[in-house]
Amino acid sequence: MFTNLHNNESPKMAGARMRLVEELKRKGIANQTVLQAMAHVPRQFFFPPDFEQYVYRDEAFPIGFNQTISQPYTVAYQTALLNIFPNAKVLEIGTGSGYQAAILHYCNAKVYSVEVIKELCERAKLVLKKLDIQVQIMLGDGTLGWPDAAPFDRILVTAGAPKPPVSLLNQLSENGSMVIPIGPSPDQLVMKRMTKTKNGFKEESFGEFKFVPLKGKEGW
Ligand code: SAH
């Protein structure tokens, strides 16, 4: 299953990735599926060229168009909160570099991802295709979800939102959950997990985070 991805990779890059995974463990990431995916996916493919020394730092990094590839800790944290089961249908909002989508794929999810910036959407499609990672990607306003592919077992929003978009809540399956950073401003967000139950939505709150803003009809 795990072929090709690491052809031509320098031992230095591979070593840096393993050290990052150790760092994530020290910072409290314990989900084995997530750690294995992070150990597997080469972040350099989703990173701007010529910044090799930054690839495996636990930091967000600019990818153009005022957007960033999320900090690895944040990727791992959000993915762990999703509690993905094999073949779960997962919708990501904010494809960006495509890195988070690749991580979801290697957590055995069936991944759908929506990106609003055309150039990023196309670039992510291209890199995932090159790596033979099967993810459905659509250009559009992700606050409206992906009605034709709904319902989803899990929804992951990778940009900061003022409130949970109603369209996304409506596209969750029964017992499905959405992980989304919510707050009054993009640098003051609390990670939330909203789970659809028979009696409405259960809401849980986790740590504080910063994200780029979720734009669009039900965003900023
Ligand atoms: N998951 C990405 C993180 C990208 S940052 C990664 O792994 O690299 C957040 C992304 O959300 C940006 O690319 C931004 O363009 C996108 N975004 C913001 N508002 C959006 C919206 N309404 N619909 C879809 N994407 C959106």
Task: Write the pLDDT tens digit of every residue in 6-26.
Answer: 988 999 999 999 999 999 999
CA of 29 to the centre of ligand 1 (A): 23
Looking at ligand 1, which atom is closest to the CA of residue 124? 8
Does 106 score more than 50 pLDDT?
Answer: yes
Q: Is the CB of 29 under 6 A from ligand 1?
A: no
CA of 213 to the centre of ligand 1 (A): 8
**Mean pLDDT in the chain?**
96
Q: What percent of the chain has pLDDT over 70?
A: 99
CA–CA dist 31, 87 (Å, integer): 17
E-state strands within the chain: 61-64, 67-69, 89-93, 110-115, 135-139, 152-157, 172-185, 188-197, 200-209
Q: Is the CB of 167 under 6 A from ligand 1?
A: no
CA–CA dist 220, 51 (Å, integer): 31
Lowest-pLDDT range of 21-25, 49-53, 104-108: 49-53
Told to judge if 10 belongs to the known catalytic residues of this protein, a careful annotator would answer no
Does 1 score more than 50 pLDDT?
Answer: no
